[in-house]
């Protein structure tokens, strides 16, 4: 069985990454989205193992000590991290794995797994990004301003990624992301495993 591909996806808040991933999963089989571990409190409607794996600080720090994370970060008072073994097991099963992480996490993962693919999603303009953040109707102006500063900082690292997608027309951005995922499955190193019987019959 051929090993799956690891795909790292990053984008500033408001660029539409979550919607793209949801639509991609509906259209592409054999694609798993990594579920992060976190120490933050479980919110109403969230299920353990779906939104996150919810653990306490002691368990998270035990996993850090055991080098159990591909990458992790502390955001304010809580930890967030990608479990190494879960990703490795899923890739070994032949499924592709998609990681939704920021540029710092992406840099760490790429150093550990240099064969991974990395994709950055941009908004079509600053104005569109701010409009999307405001349309959520959840944050006051000072929070929007901070999110915009964070977004600009995140976007400044676009050149560290293999692929760059602008999420202006959603269907086009989704098509581009889908093409990236499916094209990688056609690499000779993977196809030679999947097509072993055909190749043997053609060349025998």
| Structure confidence by residue, pLDDT tens digits, 23-64 | 999 999 999 999 999 999 998 989 999 889 999 999 999 999
Q: What is the pLDDT of residues 69-93, one digit of tens each?
A: 999 999 888 999 999 999 999 999 9
The answer to whether residue 184 sits within a structural domain is: yes
Return the HEC string of the chain. CCCCCEEEEECCCCCCHHHHHHHHHHHCCCEEECCCEECCCCCCCCCECCCEEECCHHHHHHHHHCCCEEEEEEECCEEEEEEHHHHHHHHHCCCEEEEECCHHHHHHHHHHCCCCEEEEEECCCHHHHHHHHHHCCCCCHHHHHHHHHHHHHHHCCHHHCCEEEECCCHHHHHHHHHHHHHHHCCCHHHHHHHCHHHHHHHHC
pTM: 0.89
Q: With respect to residue 195, please indicate whether it lies within any of the assigned structural domains.
A: yes
| Structural domain contains residue 81 | no
Query: How many structural domains are present in the chain?
Result: 1
With respect to residue 109, please indicate whether it lies within any of the assigned structural domains.
Answer: yes
- Residue 147 maps to a domain: yes
Q: Does any domain span residue 114? A: yes
| 42 is a domain residue | no
CATH of the domain at 125: 3.40.50.300
Structural domain span for residue 107 = 6-34+95-203
């Amino acid at each position: 069985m051929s090993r799956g591909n690891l795909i790292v996806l990053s984008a500033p808040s408001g660029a539409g990454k979550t919607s793209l991933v949801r639509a991609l999963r509906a259209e592409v089989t054999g694609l798993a989205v990594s579920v992060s571990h976190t120490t933050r409190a479980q919110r109403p409607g969230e299920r353990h193992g779906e939104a996150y794996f919810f653990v306490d600080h002691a368990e998270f720090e035990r996993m850090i000590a055991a080098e159990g994370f591909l990458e992790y970060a502390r955001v304010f008072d809580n930890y967030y991290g990608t479990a190494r073994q879960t990703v490795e097991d899923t890739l070994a099963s032949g499924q592709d794995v998609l990681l939704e992480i920021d540029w710092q996490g992406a840099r760490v993962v790429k150093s550990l797994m240099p064969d991974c693919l990395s994709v950055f999603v941009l908004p079509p303009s600053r104005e569109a990004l701010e409009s999307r953040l405001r349309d959520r109707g959840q944050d006051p102006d000072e929070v929007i301003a901070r999110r915009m500063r964070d977004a600009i900082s995140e976007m400044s690292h676009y050149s560290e990624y293999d692929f760059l997608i602008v999420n202006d027309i959603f269907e086009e951005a989704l098509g581009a992301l889908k093409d990236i995922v499916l094209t990688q499955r056609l690499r000779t190193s993977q196809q030679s495993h999947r097509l072993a019987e055909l190749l043997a019959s053609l060349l025998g």
